[in-house]
Amino acid sequence: MADLRYVGKDLPRPDAADKVAGRAYYIHDLVRPGMLWGKIKFSEHASARIAHVDTSRAARLPGVRAVITGYDTPEVRIGFLRDNFALKRDRVRQFRDEVAAVAATHPDIAAEAIDLIRVEYEPLPGVFTPEDALAAGAPLVHERDADGRPVTTNLLPVTVKHRSGDLAAGERASKYIVEGEFSTPLIQQACMGTAGCIAEMDTRGNLTMWAKTQIPFLAQRDFIRALEAMGLPGRNARVIVPTLGGAFGTGLDTHAYEYIAILLAHRTGRPVKILYDREEEFANLSPRQSARTRIVQGCDADGHITFRRIEVVQDNGAYTSWGATYPTVMLIPATSLYKVQNVEFEAKIVYTNNTYAQAMRGYGNPEVTWPIECTLDQLAEEAGIDPLELRVRNKNEPGETTPMGLQVTTCGLGECLELAKKKLDWESKRGKQRHLRRGVGVASLVHVGGSGRIYRSDGGGIILKLDDFGNVNVSYGGVEMGQGLHAALTASVAEALGVRPEKVAINPTDTATCPWDVGTHASRGAFIACNAAIRASAKARKKIFALAAEVFADEVKKNLQALIKKSPSYAPPAYDVAAACRADGFELASGVLSLEGAPDEPWLKLDLGRVLRAIHFRGVAGQMVIEEAFYEPPSELPDWSKGVGNMSASYAYGVQAFEVEVDEDTGDVRILHAVSAHDVGRVLNPQALRGQVQGGLAQGVGYTLYEEVKTKDGRVLNPSFTDYKIPTVHEMAFPVDVCFVETNDPAGPFGAKGVGEPGLVPTAPAIASAIWDAVGVRIHDLPITPEKIVRALKEKKAKE
C-alpha cells in the first residue's frame, strides 16, 4: 500500500472552508417556514409531587400558540428502560424535570410565557448519593418500572459482571497487593454549540426532525415510537443532521426536549424549534456519568499482575440514558489493559435524584482506567520497579485473547511505551526531580478500535452515486460532529474508487437518503464508513470497468480522430484498443480511466465523467453507476452478565506521559510536557488525527485538574463557563508530542483503527503519577484540584 495517493496525506477537511467562512449552518442557524419557538418549564425541586400546574396566564400571552403539560398530552416514554417521560405528570425526580412547555412566535415571548406558568409542588425526600439510595428504607426514585410492576430498590436492573481465572490463586501468587477507592466526577461535555432541534409534521402525521444527534437511525426508531404513543401509528420519522457544534456523546440518546418539540409541533401544526441556551445546557443536558470504584490489584515480585478486582458504583441520576451502560465499556480496561489472568468486575448502577447522566467520550473507560493505572503505580512503588518498566513487563501483545475474549489482532502498546519513555526522557527524570517539585508519569489505555458492538447490528451502510460529471455523492448514515469523519471518508472514497478528492461530496446525514448506521460512537465513524466505502468502491469499479469495456474504444477513437485532424503528422503507436478493452483490463486513478499496459498517450486516457456519460447516453442500454455496501464488522455482542465477548474488530492501545511541576504552596499543577502515543493501525489523515488526539488530551486535562459539575441536593450550582472551567488556550500552553504507531490492522480500512476517544482515557492517571513523582501525594478523587493537593501535602507533612 505504498502507493496510496490520498490516504495518509494532509488533505484539508472538506468542511473547513465553509466553517471558517461562517457558511456552515448549525441548528442555531436553521429556520423553517412558519416556525415557532418552544421553551420548557423545568422543575424547581429534585423530588416532589406536582400538586397543581396553572398555565392559564401563559396561554393568554399574545404570541403564545400552545402551552402543554403532561396532563394534556399523550404519555411519551424515553430511554432504553422507558423510565423517563417527555413531560412529567404527578411527580418530579430531578431538578431539571420537564413540567410544561410553550410554543410562541418569538423566543422572548416563549421565555416570558414560561415565567407565567405556576407550578405548586409538595416536596418529597430525595436521595443524592448512591450510598444513600442503597440504604435500607431509602425513598425510591421510581416506585414502579415501565411495565407498572412495583420496584423495591434504587438499583437499576442492568447487570454487567465478569469473573475469570482464579482470584484466590492470584492473591496467593501476589507479593504485593494494593487496594483503594477512587472516584471520577460528573463533567459537562460542554459542546460549543448548544443542544437544539426543529420538529416539523406534515398533515399525515409524518415527522421531520432536524436533530443534534449522533444516532440518526436509532433516533428515527425512538421518534416513530413516540408517534405511535401519540396515536400516529405507521407514520415515519425522518431525521436530518445539520452541522454539529460538537457532540462528544451528548447525541447518543434522544432527549425530552426533542419529544417536547414533537408534541408542540403536533399541537400547533407548525414547525417548532427548541434551542438550549448555555445555562440550560449546563443545568439540563445530561452530563458525563460519575463513578466510584473499589479496586484491589496485585503483582508478583517481578511486577507481573496477578489479579484484579473492581467494583464500580455509578450514580445514574433519576432516569436512564445509554450512558448507564458505561460498565459494558469498563469491562475492556478491567479485563484487557495489560496481561491479567484473574479478574473480577462488577458494576452497580444506582438511581438518585441527581441530574441524570449520559455518555461522553471514552464511555466508562477513563472511569476505570483511573483506578487501574493509579494502583499499578502504587504496585510499582511497593515492588521497587520503575512504573514504566512495570507496564512494559505487563504489556499486551498481538495474538493475545484477553479474559473478556477480546482478540487482540494487532497491538502497538509496547512501541507506545517506548515512545513515551524516549520523548519524555523518562530515565533521566523519573524519581530524580523531586527537589524541583517536578515529576513524570505515565499511563496506558485500551479501547475499541474496530467499533464496539452494543446492539444487534453494529454495521453501517453507504451509497456512492456517480453522476455525469464524475462527481461522487456519498450518502453515509454516520455523523460528522467535528472529529473529521468527512475528511477520512473523502480520502478513502477517492483512494478506493480512484477519483480526485475534490470530486467527492459527502451528503448531509439524513435517514431518508442514507443507509442505516448504528451511530457515531465507540470511535467507529471512520472505521465503519471507510470500510463500507472500500466495499462500495470495489463494486462501482467493477461496474464501471464492465461497461467501459463496451464504450471505451469508441470514445478514444474520437480522441484519436480529433488529434489527427489537429496534427496530421501524428502517428499513433501500434496498439489494439478494442482487444485491450476487457473488464479486467482497466485502471482508474484520480478520475482518469485508462487501459493497463497501454502506451502513455493522452488520447488513450478518459476522464471518468466522460466515461459515465458514455455509459449513460446509450439509448436503451444506458445505465447509472450507483453502488451501495453495508459493512458489518466481524465482532460479537458480549454476554454482559458474564462480561465475555469479542466486541470489536480491533483494539486501539495507547500511552500518555506527562511532566508536571507542582507549586507546594498553592497546589497548582503546571504541565510542562506531554506525550500522547497511539496505536492507530494506520494514519488516514495525519493532521486530522493529531487534532483528534490533542483535543482529547485537552478534555482529559480538564477532567483531571478542574472540571466538575457541582450539585447540591440535585441542583447544578455552576451552570456557566465562569463557574465551570474548561481548558482555555492558556491551560494548553505546553508542548504535546503526538506519536502514531502503525500496526496495519487487518480489519481496518487501509489498516486504520478508530481513535476518536483514546485521547482523554489515560490522561488523569498519567498526570496523577507525575504529581506523585513531583511531590509524593496521591489524590484518588478527580478532579485533582489545588485544594486537594495542598490538603494532601499537609497530611503528608503531619505524618512525617
Q: Could you tell me how many residues of this chain bind other proteins (CB under 8 A)?
A: 55
Among 5, 9, 16, 560, which residue interacts with other proteins (rule: CB under 8 A)? 16
Question: Taking the CA of residue 688 as centre, how many other CA atoms within 13 Å lie in the half-sphere pointing to its CB?
Answer: 31
In total, the chain counts a number of residues equal to: 800
The verdict on 568 binding other proteins (CB under 8 A) reads: no
C-beta of 283 vs 379, nearer to other proteins: 283
Largest CA distance in the chain: 101
Planar angle of CA 281, 448, 644, nearest 5 degrees: 110
Class of residue 563 by CB neighbours under 10 A (exposed 0-12, middle 13-18, buried 19+): middle
Among 141, 340, 726, 775, which residue interacts with other proteins (rule: CB under 8 A)? 726
C-beta of 24 vs 61, nearer to other proteins: 24
The verdict on 696 binding other proteins (CB under 8 A) reads: yes
* Contact in structure between 396 and 411 (CB atoms under 8 Å): yes
The distance of closest approach from Cβ of residue 736 to other proteins in the complex, given in angstroms and rounded to an integer, is 6
Question: Residue 238 forms beta bridges with which residues?
Answer: 208
The verdict on 277 binding other proteins (CB under 8 A) reads: yes
How far apart, in whole angstroms, are the C-alpha atoms of residue 241 and residue 257? 16
C-beta of 16 vs 560, nearer to other proteins: 16
The distance of closest approach from Cβ of residue 573 to other proteins in the complex, given in angstroms and rounded to an integer, is 41
The verdict on 32 binding other proteins (CB under 8 A) reads: no
The verdict on 28 binding other proteins (CB under 8 A) reads: yes
Among 1, 4, 19, 469, which residue interacts with other proteins (rule: CB under 8 A)? 19
Over the window 353 to 382, marking each residue x when it contacts other proteins by CB under 8 A and - when it does not, the resulting string is ------------------------------
Among 109, 127, 698, 774, which residue interacts with other proteins (rule: CB under 8 A)? 698
Question: Taking the CA of residue 296 as centre, how many other CA atoms within 13 Å lie in the half-sphere pointing to its CB?
Answer: 13
The verdict on 697 binding other proteins (CB under 8 A) reads: yes
Among 15, 346, 377, 517, which residue interacts with other proteins (rule: CB under 8 A)? 15
Among 191, 313, 779, 792, which residue interacts with other proteins (rule: CB under 8 A)? 191
Q: Which of 242, 237, 211, 213 is nearest to 224 (CA)?
A: 237
C-beta of 162 vs 673, nearer to other proteins: 673
E strands, 553-605, where?
Answer: 586-589, 592-595
Query: How many angstroms from the chain centroid is the CA of residue 656?
Result: 20
Among 484, 501, 591, 748, which residue interacts with other proteins (rule: CB under 8 A)? 484
The verdict on 754 binding other proteins (CB under 8 A) reads: no
Query: How many angstroms from the chain centroid is the CA of residue 325?
Result: 14
C-beta of 189 vs 254, nearer to other proteins: 189
Which range in 190-198, 203-211, 509-517, 655-663 contacts other proteins by CB under 8 A?
190-198
- What is the distance between the terminal CA atoms of the chain, rounded to a whole angstrom? 60
C-beta of 25 vs 617, nearer to other proteins: 25
Among 736, 739, 747, 764, which residue interacts with other proteins (rule: CB under 8 A)? 736
Among 126, 193, 591, 681, which residue interacts with other proteins (rule: CB under 8 A)? 193
Planar angle of CA 472, 475, 477, nearest 5 degrees: 155
**DSSP state at residue 192:** S
Cell numbers of 498, please? 480512484
How far apart, in whole angstroms, are the C-alpha atoms of residue 652 and residue 674? 19
Which range in 66-74, 93-101, 646-654, 682-690 contacts other proteins by CB under 8 A?
682-690
The distance of closest approach from Cβ of residue 487 to other proteins in the complex, given in angstroms and rounded to an integer, is 9
> How does strand 606-607 pair with strand 626-631?
unpaired
C-beta of 188 vs 537, nearer to other proteins: 188
C-beta of 222 vs 707, nearer to other proteins: 707
> How does strand 272-275 pair with strand 36-42?
parallel
Indicate the residue type of 713.
Answer: D
Over the window 296 to 315, marking each residue x when it contacts other proteins by CB under 8 A and - when it does not, the resulting string is --------------------
* Contact in structure between 123 and 48 (CB atoms under 8 Å): yes
C-beta of 14 vs 643, nearer to other proteins: 14
The verdict on 730 binding other proteins (CB under 8 A) reads: yes
The verdict on 26 binding other proteins (CB under 8 A) reads: yes
Which range in 217-225, 255-263, 454-462, 686-694 contacts other proteins by CB under 8 A?
686-694
The verdict on 721 binding other proteins (CB under 8 A) reads: yes
The distance of closest approach from Cβ of residue 521 to other proteins in the complex, given in angstroms and rounded to an integer, is 16
* Contact in structure between 514 and 503 (CB atoms under 8 Å): no
Indicate the residue type of 90.
Answer: D
The verdict on 276 binding other proteins (CB under 8 A) reads: no
Which range in 222-230, 233-241, 425-433, 729-737 contacts other proteins by CB under 8 A?
729-737
Per-residue DSSP letters for 675-728? EEEEE-SS-S-HHHHHHHHHHHHHHHHHHHHT----EETTEES--STTTS----
Within residues 507-566, the interface with other proteins by CB under 8 A covers none
Q: Which of 643, 675, 648, 645 is nearest to 660 (CA)?
A: 675
Other C-beta atoms lying within 10 Å of the C-beta of residue 783: 19
The verdict on 496 binding other proteins (CB under 8 A) reads: no
Within residues 219-248, the interface with other proteins by CB under 8 A covers 243-246, 248
The verdict on 488 binding other proteins (CB under 8 A) reads: no
Among 688, 709, 761, 767, which residue interacts with other proteins (rule: CB under 8 A)? 688
Contacts with 617 (C-beta within 8 Å, 6 or more apart), sequence order: none
The verdict on 691 binding other proteins (CB under 8 A) reads: yes
Within residues 62-81, the interface with other proteins by CB under 8 A covers none
Distances (CA, A) of 521 to 49, 450, 779: 37, 11, 31
C-beta of 24 vs 538, nearer to other proteins: 24
Distances (CA, A) of 571 to 43, 575, 707: 85, 11, 74
The distance of closest approach from Cβ of residue 307 to other proteins in the complex, given in angstroms and rounded to an integer, is 37
The verdict on 763 binding other proteins (CB under 8 A) reads: no
Contacts with 611 (C-beta within 8 Å, 6 or more apart), sequence order: 544, 548, 551, 552, 555, 593
C-beta of 561 vs 720, nearer to other proteins: 720
C-beta of 193 vs 498, nearer to other proteins: 193
Per-residue DSSP letters for 293-354? EEEEEEE-TT--EEEEEEEEEEEEESS--GGGGHHHHHHHHHHHSS--S-EEEEEEEEE-SS
The verdict on 717 binding other proteins (CB under 8 A) reads: no
Which range in 9-17, 52-60, 469-477, 625-633 contacts other proteins by CB under 8 A?
9-17
The distance of closest approach from Cβ of residue 24 to other proteins in the complex, given in angstroms and rounded to an integer, is 5
Other C-beta atoms lying within 10 Å of the C-beta of residue 288: 29
The verdict on 483 binding other proteins (CB under 8 A) reads: yes
* Contact in structure between 8 and 681 (CB atoms under 8 Å): no
Residues that bind other proteins (CB under 8 A): 10, 12-13, 15-26, 28-29, 189-194, 243-246, 248, 277-278, 481-484, 687-688, 690-691, 694-699, 720-722, 726-730, 732-733, 736
